Amino acid sequence: MLAIAGKGVARGGMNASRIRSQSLLLASKSYSSTAKQSNKQSISIVSSHPSGRRFNASDELLYEHEMTVRDALNSALDEEMSADPKVFIMGEEVGEYQGAYKITKGLLDKYGPDRVVDTPITEAGFTGIGVGAAYHGLRPVVEFMTFNFSMQAIDHIINSAAKSNYMSAGQISVPIVFRGPNGAAAGVGAQHSQCYAAWYSSCPGLKVLAPYSSEDARGLLKAAIRDPDPVVFLENELLYGESFPVSAEVLDSSFSLPIGKAKIELEGKDVTITAFSKMVGFALKAAEILAKEGISAEVINLRSIRPLDRSTINASVRKTNRLVTVEEGFPQHGVGAEICASVVEDSFEYLDAPVERISGSDVPTPYAANLERMAFPQIEDIVRAAKRACYRSVPMAATA
């Protein structure tokens, strides 16, 4: 069946799929020149990396290469497909076109059309095929050209993939990964700009991951493919071309990161800032600005949205006594709201200030560039929120 899908169905869907990808490809031109510089040798001493992270001289010993997020994802797929013949990838333009964002570049030539399966434009169709293949012991990686299109397949993701292990009393495992770009890009309008972290993380049976750096992308995707349960893997297309330092350990084929564990990107003592995906970089840059004003911010890269690393978040809040949550999604019922609930339930007595939530605006994403910028969190929003939490600025209510 998979061979038929790879050799026959794909031929009819290629041209139409390419037409639909054009608007997304415009935004993906944030490839930047860094996309062509994977594995660049020795970063020397980097005082202000594009990621927002600061590096010390000692980091030279650990971070010997740079890798783009795109190459991190591609290498993770390649190595897992090489290690396990049950792993295959399917989706629109993943084969002959090598992926709308070139994440699957070179995989068709290496593994053939039985394992790199081009599909027609039918998310419900190929997602259902993928879930069925997982039922029978294969390990599909289903690519959505954008997670906005996963709404066409949400019945299979929620009712077929997420619930089957529970409903079968553990007799059916569903080792499948749903991956693709999530959240806002640039100028692609309301229907292509939603963040699905809160949507999918509300569903029992799913694991939801959101990488930020190349280390995150490589380690978390490997963990997702190896996991026995369905994983929603939320990438960000504006990060694909970003380069990050990686260590020799990260480049090892056995490397993976634990699902459900956050990373403290920057230690601090005055305020905790939680973020995921692209917002981690914004939080790190905000922390640099705050440091110049005498505020020491601790930045937590969530990495895993479900399961959520509540212990790391609460331990940080108990140290700093203040919390700012940052996300691009809608404010109501968001990831930040869940973090707030966890802190109020477990660490309320440690808070010295109200929790600050920074999120996308509660409106469909505008198309106009100036309005689009206003609709999503900016670095200055995070700085202002941290200052409010530290009582270093006039509260918004007082200025009304």
pLDDT band for position 13 (cuts 50, 70, 90)? very low
Residue 275, judged by CB atoms within 10 A of its CB (0-12, 13-18, 19+), counts as buried
Fold of 65-251: Rossmann fold (3.40.50)
> 303, 274 in Cβ contact below 8 A?
no
Q: The tokens of 121 are what?
A: 């434009």
The pLDDT score that the predictor gives to residue 8 is 37
> 132, 125 in Cβ contact below 8 A?
no
DSSP state of 58: T
Q: State pTM to two decimals.
A: 0.84
The pLDDT score that the predictor gives to residue 62 is 61
Instruction: In whole angstroms, give the CA distance from residue 113 to residue 277.
Output: 31
The pLDDT score that the predictor gives to residue 5 is 39
Q: The tokens of 241 are what?
A: 């071309």
With residues binned 3-state (H G I as helix, E B as strand, rest as coil), the percentages for the chain, rounded to 5, are: 45, 15, 40
Instruction: In whole angstroms, give the CA distance from residue 303 to residue 201.
Output: 13
Query: Which residues belong to the active site?
Result: 123, 192
Mapping DSSP to helix (H, G, I), strand (E, B) and coil, where does residue 143 land? strand
pLDDT band for position 392 (cuts 50, 70, 90)? confident
Comparing 65-251 with 263-390, is the CATH topology the same? yes
> 303, 277 in Cβ contact below 8 A?
no
The pLDDT score that the predictor gives to residue 98 is 94
Is 100's pLDDT higher than 90?
A: yes
Percent of the chain with pLDDT over 70: 82
- Domain 263-390 is in which class? alpha beta
**Which segment of 18-27, 98-107, 135-144, 298-307 scores lowest on mean pLDDT?**
18-27
Instruction: In whole angstroms, give the CA distance from residue 16 to residue 38.
Output: 31
Is 310's pLDDT higher than 90?
A: yes
Average pLDDT, the chain: 87
The pLDDT score that the predictor gives to residue 43 is 32
Is 375's pLDDT higher than 90?
A: yes
For residues 56-69, average pLDDT: 68
Is 126's pLDDT higher than 90?
A: yes
Instruction: In whole angstroms, give the CA distance from residue 116 to residue 359.
Output: 37
Q: pLDDT, tens digit, for every residue of 200-229?
A: 999 999 999 999 999 999 999 999 999 999
pLDDT band for position 393 (cuts 50, 70, 90)? confident
> 68 forms bridges with which residues in the sheet?
243
Is 394's pLDDT higher than 70?
A: no
Q: With left for phi above 0 and alpha for psi between -120 and 50, is residue 170 left, alpha or beta?
A: left
Instruction: In whole angstroms, give the CA distance from residue 182 to residue 362.
Output: 18
Q: pLDDT, tens digit, for every residue of 241-265?
A: 999 999 999 999 999 999 999 999 9
Q: 28 or 356: whose pLDDT is higher?
A: 356
pLDDT band for position 395 (cuts 50, 70, 90)? low
Q: What does each C-alpha distance from 315 to 161, 245, 269, 279, 347 come to in angstroms?
A: 33, 27, 12, 21, 9
For residues 302-319, average pLDDT: 98
> 70, 212 in Cβ contact below 8 A?
no
Is 106's pLDDT higher than 50?
A: yes
Mapping DSSP to helix (H, G, I), strand (E, B) and coil, where does residue 235 land? strand
The domains of the chain are located at 65-251, 263-390
Q: 189 or 343: whose pLDDT is higher?
A: 343
Q: pLDDT, tens digit, for every residue of 274-296?
A: 999 999 999 999 999 999 999 99
Is 396's pLDDT higher than 80?
A: no
Q: pLDDT, tens digit, for every residue of 84-94?
A: 999 999 999 99
Q: pLDDT, tens digit, for every residue of 161-179?
A: 999 999 999 999 999 999 9
